């Protein structure tokens, strides 16, 4: 049985912009258009529409009233900067530990910490490139992560979207019906 387009959607929460972007890239590769993707609107837009602040983005995952922003592809330069700063942070931290004769496990831990620090630097650069967008991203991460909704036309797309979201570190990935869907 075929559903009306967009009657259900997959949703996932991402800890950082780089993970969300990698999921979006793979969703595009799988044939999901920009119009099928939406993000949580700014904190101010959420408060204005819902009449209250939210504590955790998880409160809004399945709320059809939560205001959304259409996904707008980030420029290749922004994407490269965010990724490069994460890589540089990871490599730098790993190099320091390895040079000091540290064990492999410690080097891997340092790489993870360094990548996080590099991600912060990438977020700072993104602030340069789009202050409003960076502020919204920072606020959502502080409230538990970045929400990504993916409209799905059928069960095959639902399964594919869930798999992609999970593969890119999406948390609480699930599918729900949209209002008016059967």
Within a domain: 36:
yes
- How do residues 76-96 score in pLDDT, each as one tens digit? 545 555 555 454 444 444 444
Within a domain: 1:
no
Q: How many CA atoms lie within 13 A of 15 on its CB side?
A: 8
The total of structural domains in the chain comes to: 1
Within a domain: 28:
yes
Q: 55: domain range?
A: 8-177
- How do residues 47-77 score in pLDDT, each as one tens digit? 999 998 889 999 999 998 999 988 877 655 4
Within a domain: 3:
no
To the nearest whole number, what is the mean pLDDT of the chain?
Answer: 76
Within a domain: 91:
yes
- pTM of the entire predicted model: 0.68
Q: Please check whether residue 35 is in contact with residue 69, taking contact to mean a CB–CB distance below 8 angstroms.
A: no
Q: What are the structure tokens assigned to 139, written together?
A: 């606020």
d(CA 166, CA 172): 9
Q: What is the DSSP string of 23-65?
A: HHHHHHHTT--GGGEEEE--HHHHHHHHSS--S-GGGTTT-TT
Low-confidence ranges of the chain (pLDDT < 50): 1-6, 77, 85, 87-100, 102, 107-118, 125, 127-129
Within a domain: 30:
yes
59 CB burial (10 A radius; 0-12, 13-18, 19+): middle
């Amino acid at each position: 049985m075929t559903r009306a387009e967009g009657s259900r959607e997959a949703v996932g929460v991402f800890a950082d912009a780089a993970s969300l972007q990698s999921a979006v890239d793979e969703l595009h590769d799988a044939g999901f258009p920009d119009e099928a993707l939406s993000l949580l609107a700014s904190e101010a837009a959420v408060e204005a529409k819902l009449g209250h602040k939210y504590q955790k983005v998880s409160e809004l995952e399945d709320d059809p009233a939560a205001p959304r922003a259409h996904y707008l592809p980030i420029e290749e330069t922004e994407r490269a900067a965010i990724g490069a700063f994460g890589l540089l942070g990871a490599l730098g931290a790993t190099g320091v530990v390895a040079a000091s004769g540290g064990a492999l496990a410690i080097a891997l831990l340092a790489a993870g910490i360094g990548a996080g620090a590099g991600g912060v630097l990438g977020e700072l650069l993104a602030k340069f490139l789009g202050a409003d967008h960076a502020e919204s991203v920072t606020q959502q991460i502080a409230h538990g992560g970045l929400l990504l909704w993916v409209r799905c036309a059928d069960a095959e797309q639902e399964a594919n979207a869930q798999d992609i979201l999970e593969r890119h570190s999406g948390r609480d990935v699930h599918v729900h019906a949209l209002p008016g869907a059967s």
